[in-house]
């Protein structure tokens, strides 16, 4: 059974860098996209970015200037760095997997697939921003 | 402010049916699949509907998804107390080149 576990310091000072890690256990990290999503207290979900096995990244335009993600394939760990944090960055941070699913079959029997966004989530780690 | 628009709350009594709406634009719902997530209090979200109307095997058939144009809906029939949760819709946005979420709907079972 694949599980995701986020970890990192629960407290970050304003203007400093937030660093989190997500460890994937019980399964492969190949053939998936790995995401960071956050949820400020009492509010909704915000996608931060994603990375694939080859290290290709895609970041939310609103956070692109401050965020970077990396993937350690040997340790099966996904990392997030968010620079120059403010109180607005205080949130529950989740890592989540994007897989795919079959939508139809082509004439010669090959499957056509589409992204299966966030089919697996970690429990999340709470980050507070305070001096 | 979320890209997709959901009502902040919905409610119903046990056994009733409830529908939660999700409104978007041609760059997201209008041209891509919709996903729904259930978030029980104090837990991480779980995928409940994918591909507009497909249910993972663990999701009861009381839950159904639909889409028309730039709007989608999550319908819950035979409401139960354990359905009380926050529900979020999501879809890929071609303009933003990333997935976007609705603001979430808090479902209360009275």
| B90 contacts in chain A (CB < 8 Å) | 45, 117-118
> Is A84 within 8 Å of A66 (Cβ atoms)?
yes
Triad B89, B103, A80: Cα angle to 5°:
85
How far is it, in rounded angstroms, from Cα A92 to Cα B50? 24
pLDDT digits (tens, 9 = 90+) for A49-104: 999 999 999 999 999 999 999 999 999 999 999 999 999 999 999 999 999 999 88
Q: Does any CB of chain B come closer than 8 Å to the CB of residue A61?
A: yes
Terminal-residue alpha carbon distance, chain A: 39
Say yes or no: B50 contacts chain A, CB-CB below 8 A. Answer: yes
Quote the minimal CA–CA distance from A84 to chain B in Å.
22
Q: Do A123 and B50 touch (CB under 8 A)?
A: no
DSSP-derived pairing of the beta strands A67-72 and A77-82: antiparallel
| pLDDT at residue A107, rounded to an integer | 84
- Report yes or no: B44 at the A interface, CB cutoff 8 Å: yes
Would the CB atoms of A44 and B102 count as touching at under 8 Å? yes
The confidence score (pLDDT) of residue A82 equals 98
Instruction: Assess A58–B contact: CB distance below 8 Å, yes or no.
Output: yes
State the smallest CA–CA distance between residue A94 and chain B in angstroms. 8
Q: Read off the pLDDT of residues B81-103 as tens digits, 9 standing for 90 and up.
A: 999 999 999 999 999 999 999 99
| Nearest-Cα residue of chain B relative to residue A60 | B98
Residue B59 CB: number of other CB atoms within 10 A? 18
Chain A residues in contact with B104 by the CB 8 A cut-off are: 43-45
- Please give the C-alpha separations between residue B37 and each of A78, A86, A129, B82, in angstroms, as whole numbers: 23, 28, 27, 15
Residue with tokens 């409940």: B48
E strand residue ranges, chain A: 3-7, 11-12, 18-25, 33-39, 46-52, 57-59, 67-72, 77-82, 91-105, 111-121, 125-129
Residues B22-43 have pLDDT tens digits of: 999 999 999 999 999 999 999 9
- Which of B108, B83, B99, B75 shows the shortest CA–CA distance to B3? B99
Cα separation, A51 vs A21, whole angstroms: 13
Amino acid A31: pLDDT: 87
Buried/exposed code over B91-109 (b: 16+ C-beta within 10 A; e: otherwise): bbbeeeebbbbbbbbbbeb
């Amino acid at each position: 059974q694949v599980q995701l576990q986020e970890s990192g310091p629960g407290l970050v000072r304003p203007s400093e860098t937030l660093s989190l890690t997500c460890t994937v256990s019980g399964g492969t990290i190949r053939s998936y996209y790995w995401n960071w999503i956050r949820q400020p207290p009492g509010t909704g979900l915000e996608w931060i970015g994603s990375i694939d096995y080859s290290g290709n990244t895609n970041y939310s335009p609103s956070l692109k200037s401050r965020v970077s993600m990396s993937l350690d394939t040997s340790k099966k760990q996904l990392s997030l760095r968010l620079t120059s944090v403010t109180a607005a960055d205080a949130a529950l941070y989740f890592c989540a997997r994007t897989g795919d699913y079959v939508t139809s079959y082509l004439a010669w029997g090959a499957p056509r697939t589409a992204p299966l966004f966030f089919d697996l989530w970690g429990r999340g780690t709470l980050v507070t921003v305070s001096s | 402010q979320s890209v997709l628009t959901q009502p902040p709350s919905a409610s119903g009594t046990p056994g009733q049916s409830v529908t939660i709406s999700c409104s978007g634009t041609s760059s997201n719902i209008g041209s891509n699949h919709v996903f729904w997530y259930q978030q029980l209090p104090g837990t991480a979200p779980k995928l409940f509907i994918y591909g507009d109307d497909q249910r993972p095997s663990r999701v009861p058939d009381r839950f159904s998804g639909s889409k028309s144009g730039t709007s989608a809906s999550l319908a819950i029939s035979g409401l139960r107390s354990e359905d009380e949760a926050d529900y979020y819709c999501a879809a890929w946005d071609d303009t933003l080149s990333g997935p976007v979420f609705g603001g979430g709907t808090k479902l209360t079972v009275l």
